[in-house]
Structure 1
Amino acid sequence: MRDYDQETAFLGKWGRFQQIVFFLLCTSTIPNGFSAFSIIFLGESPLHHCLIPERANISDQWHKVSIPTQVVNGVTERSRCSRYKLDLISNFSALNLVPGKDVNLSHVPLEGCIDGWIYSNTTYQSTIVTEFDLVCSDEWKQPFTSSIYFLGVLCGSFFSGQLSDRFGRKPVLFMTMAVQTLFTFVQVFSPSWEVFSLLFFIVGLGQISNYVAAFVLGTEILTGSVRVLYSSLGVGVFFAIGYMILPIIAYFLRDWRKLLVAMSVPGLIYIPLWWFIPESPRWLLSQGRVEEAEAILRDAARRNGVTAPEVIFTPTEVPVIHDLI
């Protein structure tokens, strides 16, 4: 009895059918590269310092020295999380006292950024850090956001295989692509860091599940050296293309919400792939759906310009293929 690769050897290894499957499945992993490294740009923390509100009514001279300075990595910059007590600064300004001459600033007590922060927009127009003030006492939330995403990736790794075994490789591929696309877009409307992080967790679920489904579907359809090339280099290179394109997009879209919209657009472009990417014949055989598997292979033979045998799988050979899967 022959195995699946022998049964489908009439297709050849690199015909039009294999080329379509190879490149379409590879390109479907590009958005995975987007989301995996998006937090680098979505969660960047720009330079910031305490806001001095207009109600303080202090002179320009006192306004310039209202934020203490500190040396960070050999560079002198304004403190990011403290300011001189505003009520004292206001009194000094009202009395026309001169900072550094009439008042020794080192003796003026400090307070936190009660009125918020001012963020530098030199590099970014906005990020989730500037949107939700993930600085100072909440600074831990910025790296924890990335951890939440990869926790979603971890959880998705556990059940993505079981889902594709139960419902098929193709449905899971497109379902998880939809999850990744939809929840990436919904993040644009996040009213808080907590909501953003919850949605980011779901994006992580969809990202790894989509990648695994594409990986498995390609390795089951392709055979021989093409399968090796696909699994070892193909999906990895296109994933890398995704995160290499991301900085280019982020360079032109420096607002985190606009960047998320741009990241979700490719998911819509991939909708037509449903009619070009077939289900795994191997999986169909494992489910006893022999006629559907043969129909896919006969269509593949037509695309490759070869003639399929009248009977591709005999009833006695299907259980053997099922055991191999």
Structure 2
Amino acid sequence: MAIGTFDDIFQHIGGFGKYQMFLFIVNCYINVMFVFVYFGQIFMTVVPPHWCAAPPHLATLNLTAEQLKDLTIPKDEDSGAYEKCRMYEVDFIEVIETNASWQNASWPITTCHHGWNYDYSLYYPSITSQLNWVCEEDWRPTLAQSLFFVAAFVASPLFGWAADYFGRLPVIVFSNLLGAAAGIASAFASSFITFTALRMLVGMTYDTHYMVVYILLLEYVSSEYRTVMANVPIMVFLTLGLCVMPWMALYIADWSIFAIAMHAPQLITVFFIWTVPESARWLMSKGNVDKTVSIIRKAARINGRVLKPNVIEEFTFLDSHKYDDHVMNKMNT
């Protein structure tokens, strides 16, 4: 069979053999990593139930935590729930000594001057509760997450240019390692500026670390199997990651350790240098046919196929521009 396009080579090396199965597993792994990077920050900045902490001098009173809460925190008139950001401003010791009624609607109300208490019965310490990004400071987690996506919007064209200039594989590895380093470092952030800056670095990489490898892997699967390669990892492993991640956060019960657990697996992508092929489309557009031939020889060997000399010869003279147009048309359809 004549080799007119890159897809014709799959008749000789196998369209979905052991080689492609390995790439399929890589795709599944990348989908789980995408979930961790994209949604992990929601669980790092989760807001536990909270209310104003009582004045420190009330600690000498023989009151339970619930009694202190009932004494110092007003309730919402509509829901009956305790206020999150307001407390009474009265002489609480005098109230107790005179046996006055608690929860008097006429008492003056103020903001939380003594910090906050958090309910961790169904939650866990997050950076939001650690740094008290609540009430007047509740804009901070939202801004940090928004800037994550702003960074992604700004950096995507830059990484796209880099992928065209240096190759897909180096950019995939670099973006994952940068995202992992920034994500792990964010676990040790102790200020809003530090946390936001590190999350922005993660945001710069998150689109590239997933999409480029996703498209690259499709190139090494014959057309009849591309639906499987493209959709099954998303439907199964992306969904699995979404289902598992909340339980991981609850089990770990610490936002810092959770951040490390979300980003440390990205470090595995350093092994892509030796295990994942460079984009055939990019190699051929650069005229590097020899490298592409080396990749298809490896794929054929792993799939148990023997490439005849005439097949290699025909592939070597394959028009790279014709191949490039063919792949682009395939991707668009």
TM-score w.r.t. length of structure 2: 0.86
Change (3 A) 1:295 1:139: same
CA-to-aligned-CA distance 1:122-142 (integer Å, 9 cap, x gap): 122301220121111112223
CA contact 1:294–1:312 (8 Å) conserved in 2: no
* 2-structure distance, mates of 1:201, 1:137: 23
Alignment-mate amino acid for residue 108 of structure 1: W
Paired position in structure 2 for 1:305: 304
Match of 1:83 among 64, 78, 87: 87
Change (3 A) 1:138 1:316: closer
Secondary structure of 2:277 counterpart:
coil
Matches within 5 A, 1:121-132: 121-132=120-131
Matches within 5 A, 1:168-207: 168-207=167-206
Alignment-mate amino acid for residue 66 of structure 1: T
* 2-structure distance, mates of 1:215, 1:125: 34
Secondary structure of 2:141 counterpart:
helix
* 2-structure distance, mates of 1:162, 1:223: 27
Alignment-mate amino acid for residue 287 of structure 2: G
* 1-structure distance, mates of 2:156, 2:106: 56
Change (3 A) 1:318 1:268: closer
* 2-structure distance, mates of 1:265, 1:199: 15
Paired position in structure 2 for 1:151: 150
Q: Structure 2 stretches of 5 or more lacking a match?
A: 328-333
Q: How far apart are residue 188 of structure 1 and its match?
A: 0.8
* 2-structure distance, mates of 1:322, 1:57: 73
CA contact 2:124–2:250 (8 Å) conserved in 1: no
Paired position in structure 2 for 1:135: 134
Deviating runs (4+, > 6 A) in structure 1?
A: none
CA contact 2:168–2:278 (8 Å) conserved in 1: yes
* 1-structure distance, mates of 2:59, 2:255: 34
Q: Structure 1 stretches of 5 or more lacking a match?
A: none
Match of 1:26 among 25, 28, 51: 28
Change (3 A) 1:236 1:180: farther
Paired position in structure 2 for 1:11: 13
CA-to-aligned-CA distance 1:48-93 (integer Å, 9 cap, x gap): 1111232357745784412222256x4x33221111225x334555
Q: How far apart are residue 164 of structure 1 and its match?
A: 1.6
Q: CA RMSD in A?
A: 2.5
Paired position in structure 2 for 1:40: 42
Paired position in structure 1 for 2:73: 67
TM-score w.r.t. length of structure 1: 0.88
* 2-structure distance, mates of 1:38, 1:240: 14
* 1-structure distance, mates of 2:56, 2:224: 69
* 2-structure distance, mates of 1:317, 1:271: 32
Change (3 A) 1:283 1:253: same
* Greater CA drift, 191-200 or 285-294: 191-200
In the alignment of these two chains, the number of paired residues is: 318
Secondary structure of 1:83 counterpart:
strand
CA contact 1:68–1:84 (8 Å) conserved in 2: yes
